[in-house]
């Protein structure tokens, strides 16, 4: 299936790998952007944040990043300052960020990506940790 889906992906992240696998489980090959190698331009990042209906701080990743060292927990920082930090240190951008014809969303937990996929899941799917997300009939399992 040809559908324009873009995933800002970190292959080292299990949540990101699971979201990518669910997109592929619907028969869609997304455009994969390894954002640590190819970070989005500032204007694009600002647009994606706005389209996702979130704040820059809501997209900010703390774990495994220089969040604390940079003092990013300071509530007095402006949105522009938070985005400045993300531009300087792309690891601060939380992932996976997915763009589809159905919207833009930070897909944490990974099954949030199912809301953005305009096609049915083709087979059963379990996340890397074994949690079953899609049953054999391609239906989402209620959690």
Give the tens place of pLDDT for each residue, 64-116.
999 999 999 999 999 999 999 999 999 999 999 999 999 999 999 999 999 99
Measured distance CA(50)–CA(3) in Å, rounded: 22
Measured distance CA(36)–CA(38) in Å, rounded: 6
Give tens-digit pLDDT for 29-76: 999 999 999 999 999 999 999 999 999 999 999 999 999 999 999 999
C-alpha distances in angstroms, 136 versus 23, 32, 89, 115? 16, 27, 41, 19
Q: Which are the catalytic amino acids?
A: 13
The predicted pLDDT at position 142 comes to 80
The predicted pLDDT at position 10 comes to 96
CA angle 16, 40, 99 (to 5 degrees): 50
Domains of the chain and CATH, by start: 6-134 (3.40.30.10)
C-alpha distances in angstroms, 58 versus 32, 52, 68, 130? 22, 10, 16, 28
Query: Based on the number of CB atoms within 10 Å of its own CB, is 1 exposed (0-12), middle (13-18) or buried (19 or more)?
Result: exposed
């Amino acid at each position: 299936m040809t559908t324009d889906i873009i995933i800002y992906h970190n292959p080292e992240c299990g949540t990101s790998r699971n979201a990518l696998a669910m997109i592929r489980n619907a028969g869609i090959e997304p455009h994969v952007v390894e954002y640590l190698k190819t970070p989005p331009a500032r204007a694009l990042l600002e647009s994606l944040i706005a389209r996702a209906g979130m704040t820059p701080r809501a997209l900010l990743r703390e774990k495994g990043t220089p969040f604390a060292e940079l003092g990013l927990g300071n509530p007095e920082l402006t949105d522009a300052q938070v985005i400045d930090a993300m531009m300087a240190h792309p690891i601060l951008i939380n992932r996976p960020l997915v763009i589809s014809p159905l919207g833009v969303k930070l897909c944490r937990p990974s099954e949030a990506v199912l809301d953005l996929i305009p096609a049915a899941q083709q087979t059963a799917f379990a996340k890397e940790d074994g949690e079953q997300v899609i049953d054999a009939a391609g239906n989402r399992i209620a959690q």
